[in-house]
Structure 1
Amino acid sequence: MKFKILLFFVSAIALASCVDIPDFSDTPTIFYNGIDQFTVTDESGTREKVVITIDFEDGDGDLGATDSERDNDAFKKPYGKWGNYELVTARKLANGKWLETILSEDSVKWMDILKPDGKPGPIKGKLDLNTYFARGNNTIPITLKFKIRIRDRALHVSNQIETDSVVVPGYPL
């Protein structure tokens, strides 16, 4: 009986030592996963909801900010004109070219802390960003695509990815 218990513990230790810890860069890396859209109606009216999904990897897991940090000017100052999530909107013009802007509602975006225990170590996962486009009497279908970067607490900036295009309600230029 003692031999079986000892064999169990030796096997468990051997199996646990086989788990590879990912070797991600301390600078976040992101990958385009997908973009979805659907119409929502609520007390605000009828809007087109666009959900952008990205996959991420970060070697030290220092992504995100708490609610209290987002309200703290001293914390936000080093981040400058964008938080830890940058969303650039590109609109397709009549001549086929793309006009890139950062919409006012997208100027400073934050993600929640992704590793609440605060212990350094690699993490990977998915992030969904929701953005909305209101429908109105004067809106017309416009074609958009987005460029995204994220930034960790050490201010390391990820690569930039570009989404597929979507058609949403918008106003003529």
Structure 2
Amino acid sequence: MKYLLKYSAALLLLALLVSGCREEPNYPNEPTIAFDRVDQYTYTKNRITFDSLVVVVDFTDGDGNLGLRRTPTGNSDPDFQPPFDQSSPYFNNFFANLQIKRGSIYVPYPFPVASLNLNGRFPRLSTDDQDETLEGEIRYTLTNFSNDIFDPRDTVRFEIYIYDRALNKSNVVYSDDVVLFQGE
């Protein structure tokens, strides 16, 4: 019994030391994403049926420079200066191109105004500007898909990619099919 207590303390200390030596993963500096899922919420308001879709992608990034602030912190906020100013193609960092299934193929959804899209910004994922490995998930909410615009049972999917603050583009992924107005 005396030896059991003596050696168990040493084994416990060794286990704590080994578990504390976990090596940081080594990811490339370009973001990488993988489609996870689409959460679908269907509701009716004033006799119009709506879908709210939450697109979830998993990500990794080797230097942690993901995200842009959604509102400026001042006139010189770097997240709103070129190349991230409003007239730039890099103003948004999350791109979700809507595709609708026609027969057995997908075609880009024809928005009534060419400048309309589902792109947007996700916030900074690191609190400072130091390089750090990041991994996790981004949950991006798309609202107001309504049955006065889409036909019930339309099947859609999303072509998704992101940019980091160094303007590195991630890989492109596609969501699973989403049959509109079925998520009750």
TM-score range, shorter chain: 0.7 to 0.9
1:97, CA displacement in angstroms? 2.5
Residues 52-101 of structure 1, C-alpha deviations (whole Å, 9 max, x = no match) = 111000000000011215983535249933511111111112x4322124
Matching residue of 1:22: 25
Instruction: Count the aligned residue pairs.
Output: 161
Among residues 122, 134, 156, which one is paired with 2:133 in the alignment?
122
Query: What pairs up with 1:3-22 in 2 under 5 angstroms?
Result: 11=14, 15-17=19-21, 19-22=22-25
Equivalent in the alignment of 2:52: 49
The 1:164/1:14 distance shift into structure 2, 3 A limit, reads closer
* The structure with more helix, counted as a fraction of residues: 1
Quote the residue 1:86 is aligned against. Answer: 95
C-alpha offsets along residues 19-67 of structure 1, whole Å, 9 cap, x if unaligned? 1111000000001111121114579x75211111110000000000112
Residues 15 and 73 of structure 1: is their aligned pair in 2 closer, same or farther, counting only changes over 3 Å? closer
Does residue 97 in structure 1 map to residue 83 in structure 2?
Answer: no
Look up the match of 1:3.
Answer: none
Q: Which amino acid aligns with 1:157?
A: K
Please identify the structure whose Cα radius of gyration is greater.
2
2:54–2:139 contact (8 Å) kept in structure 1: yes
The answer to whether the Cα contact below 8 Å between 1:79 and 1:155 also exists between their aligned partners in 2 is: no
Same amino acid, percent of matched pairs: 25
Tell me which of 68, 76, 79 is aligned to 2:84. 76
* Residue 166, structure 1, aligned to residue 178, structure 2: yes
Q: 1:154 to 1:42 in 2, by over 3 A?
A: farther
> Please, which runs of 5 or more residues in structure 2 have no aligned partner?
1-9
- CA shift in 2, pair 1:72/1:57, >3 Å: same
1:38 paired with 2:38, answer: no
Q: Within 1, Cα distance between the matches of 2:178 and 2:140?
A: 15
Call closer, same or farther: CA 1:79–1:139 in 2, change over 3 Å: closer
Alignment partner of 1:135 out of 127, 147, 155: 147
Q: What runs of 5+ residues in structure 1 fail to find an aligned partner?
A: 1-6
The structure with the greater share of residues assigned to strand is 1
TM-fit CA distance, 1:16: 2.6
TM-score, with structure 1 as normaliser: 0.77
